[in-house]
A = this chain, B = another copy of it.
Amino acid sequence: MPAQQRTGLWLIGARGSVATTAAVGLLALRARIAGPTGCVTELPAFAGAGLPGWDDLVLGGHDVVHTPLEKRAEQLAHAGVFGQSVFAAVRSGLSEVDAEIRDGYHPAAHTGAQAPAAERLSADIRDFAERNGLARVVVVNVSSTEAPCPRLPEHDDLGALETALADPARAVLPPSSLAAYAALRAGCPYVEFTPSAGVTLPALQQLAEREGLPYAGCDGKTGETLLRTVLAPMFGARALKVRSWAGTNLLGGGDGETLADPVTVASKLESKARGLAALLGDDVTAPLHIDNVPDLGEVKTAWDHVSFEGFLGARMNLQFTWTGYDSALAAPLVLDLARLVAAAHAAGARGALTELGFFFKDPLGSDEHRFAEQTARLLSWAGSL
């Protein structure tokens, strides 16, 4: 891909914590007031991959809330996600990004068929590309986790789906999948960074196939699950038998509130549980909780307790506590994905980008959860770009 090509990054949930941190970070990187810590694509292995530079990325997005980006960034600075001096330095740049954010699709506020809504979303992205002279736009969903989506027959067949979308009496797609539909219809690769349905519906993968577009997901792997996919293979390699792996996550922020809803949290817990079962088998007791603890603000704390059996039945355990700013962990990965997916698109890739499993709790098109193997695969792919 010619490095000079300008590339769009269109964020669904563009005013959320992750998107705001990504915007602040991109502006800070561009202004050389912050180093690329946490940006995987700045590692030496990616030097020759011809990825778009920080100066080539243009931000825009959809959101259903209207808090100005500057206000959100101020809150995040106050919460300690980044420093006041970073915020002060990028403040004015944020209003330019703000100008590229359009109203998202809100099911409660919408009436009539979903097709025209999708068309409006696509048009927003196309206008953004044109207005900014972009070679391509990568769409990434970083909005709040949705409740699990009841599966309909239309989700499995693109033709049936498009018929249903035209029906004013039905609303067959959850917002994340409508966003994915709109992105693909606009000719854009789509990345699902949350555990929501998004592009996971077969009908949407048929659409990507038809349009010759790549996609990736699901659910950014930033904390507890990252550690699990690093640690679980160790037990396997050492022939130690994990008997139970219990986890508790405490989080505040909007994420904590969203996940306090028992229906919504089910999406997240399922996504987390799948990985552990894939790594250790189904016979491991694995209770898992996500608690909303508002006073923790943007900090997320996970405690895991792993009980395992060794030689001659010896019972041993490992506990860990991970304390991090989830937005600070996720945001650079979102920027990384924009660069990598843009390069894949430029190179003609289509379908599930299984080489990007490194980034996800529930990698689309792959059942490789072991982090070291995912790392090796990503680096080897980057070398081939």
Contact = CB atoms under 8 A, between A and B. Distances in A.
Contact of A328 (B80, B230, B292, B310): B310
- Count chain B CB atoms within 10 A of each CB in A231, A287, A312, A328 and give the residue with the most: A312
Interface in A32-84: 34, 36-40, 42-43, 78, 80-84
A240 B80 contact: no
A227 interface: yes
Nearest to A325: B314
Contact of A83 (B37, B296, B313): B313
A248 interface: yes
A375 interface: yes
Contact of A285 (B295, B311, B372): B295
A250 to B, nearest CB: 5
A237 B285 contact: no
A305 B319 CA distance: 12
Chain A interface category by residue count: 35 or more
A240 B328 CA distance: 11
B285 A293 contact: yes
Nearest to A287: B291
A111 interface: no
A320 B323 CA distance: 12
Contact of A243 (B295, B316, B319): B295
A152 interface: no
A316 B325 contact: yes
Interface stretch (A21-29, A115-123, A158-166): A21-29
Interface in A300-348: 301, 303, 305, 307, 309-325, 328-329, 331-332
A293 B323 contact: no
Interface in A88-140: none
A294 interface: yes
A86 interface: yes
A246 B324 contact: no
A354 interface: no
A314 B40 contact: no
A169 interface: no
How many protomers of this protein does the assembly include? 4
A226 to B, nearest CB: 7
A33 to B, nearest CB: 9
A257 to B, nearest CB: 12
> Interface centre among A39, A42, A238, A373, by most B CB within 10 Å?
A238
Nearest to A300: B316
A40 B234 contact: no
10 A-B pairs closest in CB distance:
A372-B372, A314-B328, A38-B311, A243-B295, A287-B291, A316-B324, A82-B312, A320-B320, A248-B248, A311-B332
Given A37-B313, A83-B313, A287-B289, 15 more contacts: A37-B311, A37-B312, A38-B238, A40-B239, A233-B375, A246-B248, A250-B287, A296-B307, A303-B303, A303-B305, A312-B328, A316-B324, A316-B325, A318-B322, A372-B373
26 contacts: A21-B311, A34-B312, A37-B241, A37-B313, A38-B238, A39-B311, A230-B231, A243-B295, A246-B250, A248-B289, A250-B305, A285-B293, A285-B294, A287-B289, A287-B291, A289-B289, A293-B307, A295-B307, A295-B315, A296-B307, A310-B325, A311-B328, A314-B324, A317-B322, A319-B321, A321-B321
Interface of A: 21, 24-25, 28, 34, 36-40, 42-43, 78, 80-84, 86, 226-227, 230-231, 233-234, 237-241, 243-244, 246, 248, 250, 285, 287, 289, 291-296, 301, 303, 305, 307, 309-325, 328-329, 331-332, 358, 370-373, 375
